[in-house]
Structure 1
Amino acid sequence: MIKSLNILLIEDDTIEVMKLNRVIASLQIKHKIIEANNGEEALGILEKNDKKPDIILLDLNMPKLSGIEFLSILKNTETLKSIPAVVLTTSNNSKDVIECYKIGIAGYIIKPLKYEDYVSKIKKVLDYWSINEIA
């Protein structure tokens, strides 16, 4: 059964946040987006809320706490480590990809330049996690 998702988006670029919200608004399923501008803010949101997000989408290059630093904390916290995290970034650096998978991410997506390609990738990710059994 396809379900709507509670998504924690960790992104410091306002344009990227607007772009993702635009894509989600265009989809038939009403996903809920919780926004954080950086890893520190995201950890605060996760600590305050009893209901954890179904999935986390995050950028790697952020101020205060980078995506990799955030992932390390997330995956080493017993109450948070089961939340699937998908990296959504412009970095195609193989060291970043390898490090993220070592930490325990659920996916690594490079943001395409063409909007249509971006829509396609986001739709596929959200479709998958909408039918996947999430603990």
Structure 2
Amino acid sequence: MINIAIAEDDKEDFLLLKEAIETVLPKINIIHSKDGQLFLQSLDDHAEPDLIFLDLNIPKKNGIHCLVALRQQKKLKCTPVIIYSTSLDVEDIDCCYKHGCTLYLVKPPSYKDLVTQVRKIFFRIGLPRENLKFKEMFVVQKQL
């Protein structure tokens, strides 16, 4: 079972991301927190996540603070962390990169685009391909 932790305060954004993840990778366990402080506390109560999605602008401890805290923990230092944000601010992106973010995902405008981006992320970080629902990720071809 793959464990994915998501720190997202917006209920609709969380549900869209959760559904997109479950579309691409149906056999998962999702741990959700609505703020950064609860997120960091919840990591002690659950199995170690295989992947983490952090909203940049979550309350109490923002995504950057959570990222820094994660990278200081020996057991989570190498866990892939995806910042999930609407921000295209160069300073935000540079800060995430500097603090060890694996990827920076700008929240796409549609659910279809979100599913596409989630597929690319899973393929890029190398989640076990036997767990991937869609074999078309393996073959890249131009649409006619």
Fold shared, TM-score > 0.5 on shorter chain: yes
The alignment-based identity, stated in percent, is 34
Q: Determine which of 100, 112, 117 is the counterpart of 1:121.
A: 117
Contact 1:24–1:30 (Cα < 8 Å) also in 2: no
The structure with more radius of gyration: 2
- The answer on whether the counterparts of 1:38 and 1:63 sit within 8 Å (CA) in structure 2 is yes
TM-score, normalising length: structure 1? 0.86
- Within 5 Å, give how 1:51-62 maps onto structure 2: 51-62=47-58
Quote the RMSD (CA, aligned, Å): 1.7
Gapped runs of 5+ residues in structure 1?
A: none
Among candidates 74, 80, 83, match of residue 79 of structure 2: 83
Cα deviation digits, residues 88-124 of structure 1 (max 9, x gap): 1111111011111110011101011122111100122
d(CA) in 1 for partners of 2:121, 2:10: 20
Offset of 1:127 from its aligned partner?
Answer: 3.2
Structure 2 residue 46 is the aligned partner of structure 1 residue 46: no
Residue 33, structure 1, aligned to residue 3, structure 2: no
TM-score, with normalisation over the residues of structure 2?
Answer: 0.81
Query: 1:28 offset after TM fit, Å?
Result: 5.4
Question: Separation in 1 of the partners of 2:76 and 2:21?
Answer: 24
